[in-house]
Chain A
Amino acid sequence: MSKRIEVHHVTRVEGHGDIIVEIADGKIKECRFEIVESPRFFEAMLRGRPYLEASHITSRICGICATGHATASLRASEKALGVQLSEQTQLLRKLTFHGEILDSHILHVYMLVAPDFLGVGSVIPLAKTHREVVLRALRMKKLAGDMCAVVTGRHTHPIAMTVGGFTHLPKISELKELRERLVASRADVDATVELFSSLPWPEFERDTEYVSLTKPDEYAFIDGEIMTSDGVKVPVESYKQVTNEYMVPHSTAKLTRNKRQSLMVGALARFNNNYEQLHPRAKAAAAQLGMKPKVTNPYLNSGAQVVEIAHCIEDAILVIDKLINVGIKPEAPAAVQLKNTSGVGAAEVPRGMLIHHYEIGADGNMTGANCIIPTNQNVGNIQADFESLVPQIIDKPADAIRNDLEMLVRAYDPCISCSVHVLKIEDR
């Protein structure tokens, strides 16, 4: 008896990702996670452009993690140009970054993951069967978007963040209003944790090398060193020692590996590596979800996102308190020193560790760029998960195998690109 599972464009993974599995006489003939999208040439686009444009150009790599790309981009330029950031700038960057992590995680766990568990095909029937769940998600998503808008001028593609600081600063009254809404959202966070702790996560364990940034004094989202669960710790400038990009014939994305066959980045990697630095309310959420490091079930990447939702709400309140306490001071962006130079910026964006490595000429124009995107780093790990999972579920019907594999890909929260969707209608 043979089974063939082909899923074309299961999700957008920096474009399109396909699943191909063929089973004949109880044996796996083929098992592949393919990336079939075209290259996008952002790195080439940057060459010759002024460094001040880089964050605005690279923000367009993704409409979901635009702030993440802009932040990594700014950090690359700032490190190259010897820029020292004020505490106010660092706090505001952190606040808007939390907004984006929340926005992305809420979109993923509620709109994309929850329908799998609640027995519906998408969020639209979910709105009918679990109206309060979807209303809560929309409420939380609105708050997250407003956090970004207050700090950077708009929900996505931050306009007020620039090299060395900000071109616009929020008002204390805006921060106070956000704080009130964040405090009020704790009830929504509690309900979120309760919902996701009641879901039957698929059982599947496969240990891998978990890779994330880490910092001595806080749960790392911006800057830090690269650490792995296999004991590696290197400065971000040495990222190539860990990412080791390589090519395979069936994928247009570059894959990564370090100590093992593959590595994993994202919320679960951060959770495993930096658990101790989570806010107590986030640790309580983890306990309710039954998660304690090291968690080796990749489906629980979504669980780690729920934990980070709790963490980011609490940390955003603390950041706002610090800003309100010292007041918002008018500040011009910090000065730069132009020369032939290079720098590496790193951030933990919603889907994992993101690297921007820039070379800037003495005239201020970019001479080179290398961006390493989280989804690419996870492609090899998804393939390795497939190879481990398929033999365990080989006797299930083809539809069930397909469902398990699609849910697995989805758990990694592959990047959703924004594109135009022209409405089409017919007369009834």
Chain B
Amino acid sequence: MLSLNPDRDGKTLILGVGNILCRDDGLGIMAAQMLKERELPSGVSVETINTPGWGLPNWLDGWSSVVLIDAVRMGKNPGEWRKFSPHEVKMITEDEILSLHQPGLAAGLALAEALDIWPEKLSLYGVEPVSTEIGEGLSLEVTETLLNLINIILDDLGKIK
């Protein structure tokens, strides 16, 4: 633990990840914004981040539970979603670590794990994007999924408590 954030102990963070200027890559941000407008269980906070990169351990530090929402290429049909723990899957970091590109979510999670900054519970709701090209607005498929998915996430949070 970085132990910079003792006030987060026992609490849950929902973290929407993505870039709203790259179409469906912004779905994590949109989902977080929709959740912010809902009544949340006590001890649950919602935040959004664009490119967390190496700063991700600071975001994860101290929370007992973290729920990530992001666009994930899983080979599913566009708009399909899946809940998983980062340990259940092989995250593909491509050449990011070899090059000096600002690292993405997979590299940020790998760094957090290497540092042992890992919440007791960490889950990721991944939604298969239609397009992550430059542009604004989510696809119809992803929008429909989100409307349903935020209710499922809220239900799941209720079960955590």
Contacts and interface: CB of A to CB of B under 8 A. Distances in A.
Give the 9 A-B CB pairs with smallest separation, nearest first: A421-B104, A127-B114, A424-B92, A425-B89, A11-B100, A424-B73, A420-B22, A122-B97, A420-B19
Interface stretch (B7-15, B51-59, B138-146, B151-159): B51-59
16 contacts: A127-B115, A134-B111, A135-B115, A138-B2, A139-B2, A141-B58, A142-B58, A418-B102, A422-B104, A423-B71, A423-B73, A424-B73, A425-B73, A427-B89, A428-B89, A428-B90
Given A134-B111, A421-B103, A423-B126, A121 B97 contact: yes
A179 interface: no
Given A422-B25, A422-B129, A424-B72, A134 B99 contact: no
A107 B102 CA distance: 10
A33 to B, nearest CB: 15
Bin the interface of chain A by size: 35 or more
Interface string A89-113: 0000000000000000001000110
Interface string A405-428: 000001000101111111111111
Given A123-B54, A138-B55, A417-B102, A424 B94 contact: yes
B133 to A, nearest CB: 10
A428 B88 contact: yes
B70 to A, nearest CB: 6
A131 to B, nearest CB: 6
A369 to B, nearest CB: 22
Interface in B45-81: 50-51, 54-55, 57-58, 70-75
Interface in A132-167: 134-135, 138-139, 141-142, 145
Contacts of A419: 51, 101-102
Contact of B115 (A131, A414, A424): A131
Contact of A134 (B25, B91, B103, B115): B115
Interface string B104-146: 1111001100111000000000100100100000000000000
A361 interface: no
Contacts of A410: 100
Contact of B72 (A63, A107, A423): A423
Contacts of B99: 9-12
Interface in B1-48: 2, 4, 18-19, 21-22, 25
A44 interface: no
B19, B51, B54, B107 — most chain A CB neighbours (10 Å)? B54
Contacts of A327: none
What size tier do the contact residues of chain B reach?
35 or more
B2, B58, B115 — which one has the most chain A CB atoms within 10 A of its CB?
B115
A123 B99 CA distance: 12
Given A124-B97, A125-B114, 13 more contacts: A124-B110, A127-B111, A127-B115, A138-B2, A138-B54, A138-B57, A141-B54, A420-B25, A421-B101, A421-B103, A423-B92, A423-B105, A425-B74
Nearest to B55: A141
A182 to B, nearest CB: 15
| Residue picked from A112, A121, A135, A424, most chain B C-beta under 10 Å | A424
A426 B114 contact: no
Contact of A425 (B54, B91, B100): B91
Contacts of B57: 138
B73 A416 contact: no
A124 B70 CA distance: 22
B51 A421 contact: yes
Given A138-B57, A418-B51, A421-B51, A124 B114 contact: yes
Given A111-B54, A142-B58, A425-B73, A12 B2 contact: no
Interface in A208-251: none
Nearest to A129: B114
Contacts of B90: 425-428
A422 B4 contact: no
Contacts of A9: 99
